[in-house]
Amino acid sequence: MKKLMIMALFVFGGLIYTSKAHAQVSFSINVGDQPAWAPVGSDDAQYYYIPDMDVYYDVYRHQFLYLHDNHWIRTAVLPSRYRHFDLYRIHKVPVNKPYAYRDHKSDRVQYSQYRGKYDQTSLRDSHDDKYKNNRDNWQNNRFKNGHDDHGDHGNHDKNDHHDNH
């Protein structure tokens, strides 16, 4: 009986250790995926809602999502109408839920107070060593100055479209 209890404790301890190790690996992977313009302290964000632009950014797919003709469009480079926004300065709201853009109506209202705010430090501008890999992520200025002038609206992913504003 004593041997069985010791064995159970060993197995239970191993499961806890494995869970902690897995959590640390997931965290480390996501930190490196964050774009250089992401705000400091949002290391585990799945999406960012950007109130000034009224767009989302999908961290895992490295794509922006914006509404066009009542459909969500995914693209790595935003159309030219967004070119005057500086992602390193404007406020970004971390959102940690699958398909965050499906709550667009409520997010738009809830986060409207962040429009015009320049109150976050980007990973690029952080002096914390844990963000050193993020500082050059996505070619630093790609999202600041990059835009699509060719009329291409990105990848249309029918599984991700959501027809409501």
Please report whether residue 23 resides in a domain.
no
The pLDDT value given to residue 74: 97
- The length of the chain is 165
Q: Are 56 and 49 in contact (CB under 8 A)?
A: yes
Please report whether residue 16 resides in a domain.
no
Higher pLDDT, 62 or 130: 62
Range of the structural domain that residue 40 is part of: 34-145
Domain count, the chain: 1
Owner of token pair 């993020």: 134
Q: Which two tokens stand for residue 41?
A: 């302290």
Please report whether residue 74 resides in a domain.
yes
Please report whether residue 161 resides in a domain.
no
The pLDDT value given to residue 1: 58
Please report whether residue 114 resides in a domain.
yes
Question: Which range has the worst mean pLDDT, 6-20, 78-92, 131-145?
Answer: 6-20
The pLDDT value given to residue 55: 98
The pLDDT value given to residue 133: 65
The pLDDT value given to residue 146: 45
Q: Which two tokens stand for residue 159?
A: 């599984």
Q: Identify each DSSP E strand in 46-165 by its residue range.
A: 47-50, 55-58, 63-68, 71-75, 93-95
Instruction: Check whether 143 has a pLDDT greater than 70.
Output: no
Please report whether residue 124 resides in a domain.
yes
Question: Which range has the worst mean pLDDT, 39-43, 80-84, 97-101, 160-164?
Answer: 160-164
Please report whether residue 21 resides in a domain.
no
The pLDDT value given to residue 33: 78
The mean pLDDT value for 27-43 works out to 74
Please report whether residue 3 resides in a domain.
no
